[in-house]
A and B are shown apart, each in its own frame.
Chain A
Amino acid sequence: MQIASMHFKERAHDNMGNAQLQGNLHKIKGKFVAKRRESLVELDDFEATREAARAIRQRALDRLDVWLEIFEKNATARGATVLWAETPDEVNQHVLDIAKRHGVRKTIKSKSMVSEESALDRAIEASGGQVVETDLGEYILQINDYEPPSHIIGPALHKSKEEVSDLFAKVHGTARKTGIAELCLEARGVLRTHYLTAGMGISGGNFFVAETGSVVVVTNEGNATLTTTLPKVHVAISGIEKIVPTLEDVATLMRLLPRSATGQSISNYVDILTGVKGKGEFNGAEHMYFILVDAGRSGVLAGELKEALRCIRCGACMNHCPVYQNVGGHSYGWVYPGPIGSILTPAYIGIENALDLPQASTLCNQCGVVCPVKIPLPDLLRKLREQQFERHLRPWYERAGLRAWSWLASRPALYALATRIGVRALKWMGGRERLIHRLPLGGGWTDARDMPSPAGKTFRELAGERQKNRGER
């Protein structure tokens, strides 16, 4: 996918001024946050379940190489082929090779964020093949000239029903529908024919299960079930970090994934796909491929951001992030938005290509407390900020300002003198109103806010005066 993360500020500005988008964002915020809260009440002990989920994901990461080998062995024993992709380009190459091998002309796809990293759809089309997205959100984006997704579980959440109505009428050449059910039926009608005529189905993978060599796919529309079982060839693509040791582990994680994501006790469909269609079996693909993608992950595994790989892609961090809620997913400029995206984007594509993302957070830690696998997101953002500071990837004046502050604050006598002068100057600037309307070098603050002016003397001065008066009495 094209990287636009360097334009975070401009995009955020545009998106905050887009009334339609703001309305859509407002609606989804209320829905996700409230539904998640309600669904968690069903769990006897959310914190204990969360700790168990964290431990499962961490255990997988701590010996990832071993689990991957076990997965490969078990998947292969069931007749599947396991392929490895070190780069996004290799993902596309594998898929094109598989299509060629099996003479595939049409490919259907259920949602895969990893395939967004490599812009797989475009690569298939460039090779002369046809690809149809079957997740409703992804389908909407595809027919809108491959608009980028704005959310990892609801890629088209930024769009209103009305916008989708217009789009369907234009692209399908049908009468404009207004009801959600009608729109879904129309999409279903279009997609059904593709399911039956496609030669290959591509899915993502929420989990790869090492002990059985299975892939677990979680959806609400049932499109993944059709995508993975109707065509002759099934290709499941996901990151190497998505491995879990056992099916038992999946059961624990599934107690939290749908609840954290959409506030559902369980998603409408959970497909566990193991091996190729056997003798006497009615369902399943005849050829099954797994593409396990590195694309930066092994580097993250070896570094201080490792915990980010525990992510199970529920989207709770973005749903609860006050910045995401206001600027929307497109502002982040790549595949993964919100707090987790602000960590994964610089980690996968280079911090120099996403300079704003680690900074664009108030570190309020709302993401950290809702994360079902306890990723300390603000701590990881701070680590990225440290890297930026060390590599001189922040403006010189910011660096100079921070250094000057710690230098001054380490020298109490000088600090006392400087702050005495400073607070008097600021008091004078605030005037009788006691509000500063314009701060030199502080335009970021005063463009849309006043700064209440200080009292004119520091607490330490006043405390010193009090002590003196007490002494004289």
Chain B
Amino acid sequence: MRVGFFVTCLVDLMRPSIGFAAIKLLEAGGAQVIIPATQTCCGQPGYNSGDRRGAIALATKLIGEFEGCDYLVAPSGSCTGMIKTHYADLFRDDPAMLRRADALGAKTWELTDFLVNVVKLESVPGKFVGTVTYHDSCAGLREMGVKQQPRTLLAKMPGLTLKEMTECETCCGFGGTFSIKYGEISSRLADNKCEFVAQSKADAVALGDLGCMLNIEGRLRRRGDMTIRVLHVAELLAGDAP
């Protein structure tokens, strides 16, 4: 099983440890992990901001890099959602590219979804003692159907107790460039989320998308909360939590 690993630009630049944690999990599931060296960005920033041409250029590049693999897996619901649910729209007027986009979309998986439903991981290497609350990121939940998968995997960690927060499915306010263009609104949404995280009294908040992580951690720290840890679910599961 040749799994093309798309690390995503945010993980690549901001928190590479998530990438290595994801690889560890994929290898634990028996996958042969391939990392196309020229990978950069899936094109989502341009697509969501109206720059269709820029998005098409990056999508074309990514399809070429990954279509030779049996699967594409990424530690992000947002980027896999882009590939699986939006590439078809980018190539709606280009039948040849549309076929290639659809073919890649059909074998594109969000990490936890892949671990649960394709490799059917029995046990996970991570150890964590404490309570964790889970934030469902929007694209993972509403584009990729990721809800139970991370919880199923976290349940395999004996010392970990999952404590759901209020409104775990409400957007944290990140929204890509929205977070800069409408910083005040974005921060307010993040603040609401931090309030729910704090109310849950969990030791850590786990999630599956780095954009939400940066947003939630950034607001928590500015609020003066230096203790609640903000972890990618892959880091927790692999035992690589910083």
Tell me if B173 is interfacial: C-beta within 8 Å of chain A. Answer: yes
Check A12 for interface membership: any CB of B closer than 8 A. yes
Interface of B is mostly: helix
What is the 8 Å Cβ interface bit string for chain A, positions 66-80, against chain B (1 contact, 0 not)? 000000000000000
On chain A, the number of residues with a Cβ less than 8 Å from chain B's Cβ atoms is: 61
For the complex, what is the distance from the CA of A464 to the CA of B37, rounded to whole Å?
A: 8
A361, A415, A448 interface centre (most CB from chain B within 10 Å): A448
Residues in B neighbouring A402, C-beta threshold 8 A? 45-46, 49, 51, 54
Asked if A363 contacts B175 (CB within 8 A), the reply is: yes
CB–CB B40/A409 < 8 A:
yes
For B219, give the chain A residue with the smallest CB separation: A449
- Please, which residues of chain B bring their CB within 8 A of the CB of A463? 19-20, 35
Q: Say whether B183 contacts A365, CB under 8 Å.
A: no
CB atoms of A448 and B184 under 8 A apart: yes
On whether the beta carbons of A394 and B50 are closer than 8 Å, the reply is yes
Q: A9-B182, A386-B52, A406-B43 in contact; A412/B37 too (CB < 8 A)? A: yes
Tell whether A387 is near chain B: CB-to-CB under 8 Å.
yes
Bound-state CA distance A322–B188 (Å) is 10
A462 / chain B contacts, CB cutoff of 8 Å: 16, 20
Q: With A12-B185, A406-B58, A410-B61 given, is the CB distance from A368 to B142 under 8 Å?
A: yes
- A98-106, A131-139, A147-155, A450-458 - the one binding chain B: A450-458
Binds A, one of B117-125, B197-205, B210-218: B210-218
A326 contacts which of B13, B176, B183, B192 (Cβ < 8 Å)?
Answer: B192
| B189–A326 touching, CB < 8 Å | yes
Measured CB to CB, the closest approach of chain B to A333, in angstroms, equals 15
Q: A435-B221, A448-B219, A459-B16 are in contact. Are A362 and B138 (CB under 8 A)?
A: yes
B203 to chain A, nearest CB (A): 18
- Could you tell me if B187 and A448 are in contact, using CB atoms closer than 8 angstroms? yes
Chain A's nearest CB lies how many Å from the CB of B61?
6
Check if A406 sits within 8 Å of B7, measured CB to CB.
no
User: Given A326-B188, A361-B175, A454 and B54 touching (CB < 8 A)?
Assistant: no
28 contacts between A and B (CB under 8 A): A16-B185, A322-B192, A362-B171, A362-B178, A363-B138, A366-B171, A379-B89, A382-B48, A385-B49, A386-B52, A402-B54, A403-B54, A410-B40, A442-B180, A444-B179, A447-B187, A448-B191, A449-B218, A449-B222, A450-B219, A450-B221, A452-B221, A455-B16, A457-B16, A458-B12, A458-B16, A459-B12, A459-B13
